[in-house]
């Protein structure tokens, strides 16, 4: 019996028990779908972070409190925060060679209220040139000016989502909003920039410190001149801030440093979650082995008859192994198709992406599961004694 004949026999055997085969495939379908979608969602998270950084523009450097690094406690940086206005002045004085603009930055969150409407927004305190540094574009009105920052003026520039939630289609310019029982006058709105920014309110950083009783800066954001050397500029900034702080009291990071660290963490999480999802593939494999063992028992007389008319142990083993692989192959194919459908639906919310390697890995693993868990039942079938098999009732 050649391979084609064996393949046809295996296909016929599976077709004879369609419901059983479908239920056996289910474990593989779920496993492959879970693995591929976990990787797609992880890739989507990485794409989301990359998009957010790209919207900030290029050549940005961040000075943050505490020592950065994977595995460090973020709370430690907050409790040891010593960044203040004088460090902004130190950078302006001693590291201004390659700097286009810089801004102190205070970050918090607050419920923003207008009349009987409220919306929880992210609040960023920036300097008068914060729009240039953070790449904000004004849609209506204007941005902060130097005198407003200096006098701690209660003025705000709001994002698209905040404007829609509080004012609907009406213009918010000149209207008042309340944050932490302080009234702020809306002087402008910025253009749509992405959900992470559109739900924001920008106020003078001096006002943010006063309103929310914040003592220190959340960071200092620096935009370099076009073509300025990033490493050289970072070293100059480090030396400037080091005039007042110890090296463990602050960190100087480029966009690529931060993006690389975040993507590394997300990549590790994606692989870990994908591995956990892969456990369901093993469960599916055990299901295949269980059903194939039952099938061997049910078809004992068939095995004896085939051996009696000349089928070799290899022919018998091949048939059962091919049946196992076909079930896992079918389950893997359906799982991948469902993953593509789910990925297409998810793209309405986040830029998910299914890498080729994820498809190859899930598909290869599903077929491997079929071979691995189908081998034992195949060997057991091949070892059946034809005389005993023919007598089996």
Tell whether the model's pLDDT for residue 5 goes beyond 70.
no
Cβ(337)–Cβ(28) below 8 Å = no
pLDDT at 106: 94
Q: How confident is the model at residue 69 (pLDDT cuts 50, 70, 90)?
A: very low
pLDDT at 258: 67
Tell whether the model's pLDDT for residue 105 goes beyond 80.
yes
φ, ψ of residue 286 to 5 degrees: the values are: -65, -40
Pull the structure tokens for residue 273. 């979650």
Residue 56's nearest CA partner among 157, 133, 122 is 133
Mean pLDDT of the region 246-250: 86
The lowest-confidence range among 17-21, 77-81, 97-101, 281-285 is: 77-81
Please state, in angstroms and rounded to a whole number, the distance separating the CA atoms of residues 368 and 325.
Answer: 8
Q: How confident is the model at residue 53 (pLDDT cuts 50, 70, 90)?
A: low
Cβ(192)–Cβ(160) below 8 Å = yes
Please tell me whether residue 176 adopts helix, strand or coil conformation. Answer: strand
Residue 237: its H or E element = helix 230-241
The lowest-confidence range among 38-42, 222-226, 253-257, 353-357 is: 253-257
Handedness of CA 89, 91, 96, 101 (dihedral sign): negative
Tell whether the model's pLDDT for residue 390 goes beyond 60.
no
Residue 88's nearest CA partner among 256, 214, 216 is 216
CA distance readout (Å), 174 to 160, 168, 194: 16, 15, 24
Tell whether the model's pLDDT for residue 72 goes beyond 60.
no
Cβ(150)–Cβ(128) below 8 Å = no
Q: How confident is the model at residue 391 (pLDDT cuts 50, 70, 90)?
A: low
Q: What is the DSSP letter of 143?
A: -
Q: What is the mean pLDDT of the chain?
A: 81
Q: Enumerate the domain spans of the chain.
A: 3-50+262-391, 83-244
Mean pLDDT of the region 74-88: 72
Q: What is the DSSP letter of 225?
A: P
Q: In this structure, are strands 99-114 and 176-179 parallel, antiparallel, or unpaired?
A: antiparallel
Please state, in angstroms and rounded to a whole number, the distance separating the CA atoms of residues 333 and 344.
Answer: 17
Mean pLDDT of the region 272-287: 73
List, in sequence order, every residue forming a beta bridge with 223; answer none if it has no partner. Answer: 60, 101
Cβ(366)–Cβ(288) below 8 Å = no
φ, ψ of residue 104 to 5 degrees: the values are: -65, 150
Q: How confident is the model at residue 71 (pLDDT cuts 50, 70, 90)?
A: very low
Greater pLDDT, 321 or 10:
321
Q: Position of tokens 């986040």?
A: 350
Pull the structure tokens for residue 112. 């923003």
List, in sequence order, every residue forming a beta bridge with 156; answer none if it has no partner. Answer: 186
Cβ contacts of 144 within 8 Å, gap of 6 or more: 126, 127, 128, 130, 131, 155, 157, 187, 202, 203, 204
Residue 276's nearest CA partner among 30, 34, 24, 28 is 34
Mean pLDDT of the region 359-369: 81
Q: How confident is the model at residue 159 (pLDDT cuts 50, 70, 90)?
A: very high
What digits encode the pLDDT tens for the residues 117-133? 999 999 999 999 988 88
pLDDT at 270: 72
Most confident of 10-19, 54-63, 169-178, 329-338: 169-178
Q: How confident is the model at residue 70 (pLDDT cuts 50, 70, 90)?
A: very low
């Amino acid at each position: 019996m050649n391979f084609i004949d064996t393949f046809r026999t295996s296909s016929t055997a599976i077709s004879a028990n369609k419901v059983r085969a479908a239920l056996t495939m289910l474990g593989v379908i779920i496993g492959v779908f879970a693995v591929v979608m976990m990787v797609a969602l992880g890739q989507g998270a990485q794409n989301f972070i990359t998009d957010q950084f790209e919207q900030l523009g290029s050549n940005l450097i961040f000075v943050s409190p505490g020592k950065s690094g994977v595995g460090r406690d973020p709370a430690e940086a907050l409790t040891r925060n010593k960044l203040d206005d004088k460090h902004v002045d130190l950078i302006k004085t001693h590291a201004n060679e390659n700097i286009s603009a810089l801004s102190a930055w205070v970050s918090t969150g607050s419920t923003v209220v207008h009349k009987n409407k409220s919306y929880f927004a992210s609040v960023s305190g920036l300097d008068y040139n914060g729009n240039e540094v953070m790449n904000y574009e004004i849609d209506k009105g204007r941005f902060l000016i130097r005198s407003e920052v200096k006098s701690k003026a209660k003025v705000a520039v709001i994002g698209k989502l905040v404007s829609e939630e509080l004012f609907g289609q009406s213009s918010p310019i000149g209207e008042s909003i309340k944050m932490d029982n302080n009234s702020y006058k809306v002087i402008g709105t910025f253009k749509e920039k992405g959900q992470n920014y559109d739900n924001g309110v920008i106020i003078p950083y001096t006002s943010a410190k006063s309103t929310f009783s914040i003592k220190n800066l959340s960071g200092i954001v620096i935009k370099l001149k076009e073509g300025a050397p990033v490493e050289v500029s970072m070293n100059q900034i480090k030396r400037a801030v080091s005039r007042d702080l110890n090296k463990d009291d602050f960190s100087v990071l480029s966009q690529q440093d931060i993006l690389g660290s975040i993507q590394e963490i997300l990549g590790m999480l994606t692989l870990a979650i994908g591995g956990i999802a892969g456990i369901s593939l093993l469960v599916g494999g055990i299901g295949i082995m269980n059903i194939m063992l039952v099938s061997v028992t049910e078809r004992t007389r068939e095995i004896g008859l085939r051996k009696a008319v000349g089928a070799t142990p290899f022919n018998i083993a091949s048939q059962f192994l091919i049946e196992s692989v076909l079930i896992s192959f079918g389950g893997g194919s359906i799982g991948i198709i469902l993953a593509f459908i789910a990925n297409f639906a998810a793209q309405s919310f986040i830029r998910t992406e299914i890498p080729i390697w994820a498809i190859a890995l899930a598909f290869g693993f599903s077929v491997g599961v079929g071979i691995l868990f189908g081998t034992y039942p195949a060997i057991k079938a091949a070892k059946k004694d034809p005389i005993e098999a023919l007598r089996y009732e």
